[in-house]
Amino acid sequence: MKGAFLFSPVGCTRFDCALKIGYAVSAIQSRRDVDRGGERPMAAQSFPFKIGEFECLVVSDGVITVPDMVTPKPFNPNDAHSGMPMDVNCLLIRAGKRTILVDTGSGHWMGPASGRLVQNLGAAGIKPSDIDTVIITHAHGDHIGANVDDQGKPVFPRARYVMHRKEWEHWTAIMDAEPENPRSMLLITRKNLPPIRDRLDLVEDKAQIVPGLEGVLTPGHTPGGLMLMLSSGKDKLCCIGDLIHHELELKRPDLFAIFDVDKDEAVAARKRILPELADCGMLIFSCHFGFPGLGRIVRDGKRLSWKPIRMPAA
C-alpha cells in the first residue's frame, strides 16, 4: 500500500478515500511476531482500578501493526518492519451484578501478537460466560474481531451487545453494497457483525447503558462511534474509543487517521472534545495508547499532552 501512513493533515486530498485505504490492508501483523516469535512485549496483561463503586479492569488484547504515523515511507503489510506497533486495550466494568466488556479486540484476524483478550481475561479469573454485556465503541476489526471465534460461534455466549444505531446502519449498508472479498478487512466485519444481530441493542446519543454509564455519540472516525462516560460519586472516567490513536494527535489535532471515515468531522470532534477533557481533568481510557491506556490530558496554554498512569514495576 504505497505511500499510506496513519496520520495526515486535513486538506491532503491524497487521503480522501481513507476508509478504503484502511480496509485495503489485508495482512496486518505485529512487528513483535517476527522479532520475538509472537511474544507479548509487556509482562502485565491486565490492570485493575476503581471508579467509585465500579470495579474496572483494563485487559490487553495484544499488539497490532498499522502504517507508520508520520514517516512518509511506504507501508508494506507483509513486512514486519514496515509500520508501527499499536496496543489494543479492552475494558471490563463490574456494575453491581453486571459484567460489561468494552470491545472484543481483534480476535484471530491480526496475527499471533494480538487476539489475546479471552486468554488474558481467563488469567484474571473471568470466563467468557461471565460477560453479560458487550459495548462496541465502533465496528472496526480491532474492536469487534472476537465477537465470534474462528468457527463462527459466539465468544461471549450470554452477552447482549450494545452499539449506536448509526454505526450498525453504516456497516450494514457497506456490507450490502460491497461484494464479498476474502482479501478485504471488511471480511472481519462480515464475520463478526451479522452473527450478533439477534442479541444487539441499538442505542441513541447519551443512552444510559447502566446507571452511571452513558454512551456519547462521537462521529468522525466512524459515523456511530461511542465515547463512554463512567461516573460514580466524585470519580469519573471517559473511554474515548478511537477519538485519538496516538499522543501526537493531542499536539496536532489537525491530523486525521487514514481509518477516519469523515476526516473533517473527526478533526472537529478532536478539537472540540480534547480541550474539554483536559479542563475537567477526568481519568481517560484509550483503546490504543500504551498499556494500560489510562491517564489524563493536561494543558499548558493551548498545548495538550498526555500524562499516563504508569504500570508498577514488575
203 in helix, strand or coil?
strand
Does 42 score more than 50 pLDDT?
Answer: no
pLDDT tens track for 247-274: 989 998 888 778 899 999 999 999 999 9
pLDDT interval class at 90 (50, 70, 90): very high
pLDDT in tens, 7-31: 555 544 332 333 332 333 323 333 3
Distance CA 272, CA 308 (A): 21
Q: Does the pLDDT of residue 136 top 50, yes or no?
A: yes
Task: Give the pLDDT score at 127.
Answer: 98
* Percent of the chain with pLDDT strictly greater than 90: 70
96: phi then psi, degrees, rounded to nearest 5: 65, -120
Which class does domain 7-307 fall in? alpha beta
161/183 Cα distance (integer angstroms)? 27
Q: Enumerate residues 6+ apart whose C-beta is below 8 A from 12.
A: none
Q: Which residue has the higher pLDDT, 99 or 73?
A: 99
Residue with cell 496513519: 6
What helix, strand, coil percent values describe the chain, rounded to 5? 25, 30, 45
Q: In what order do the strands lie in the sheet with 207-210?
A: 207-210, 213-217, 226-232, 235-239, 283-285, 294-300, 303-308
pLDDT digits (tens, 9 = 90+) for 163-187: 999 999 999 999 999 888 777 778 9
Q: Give this prediction's pTM.
A: 0.85
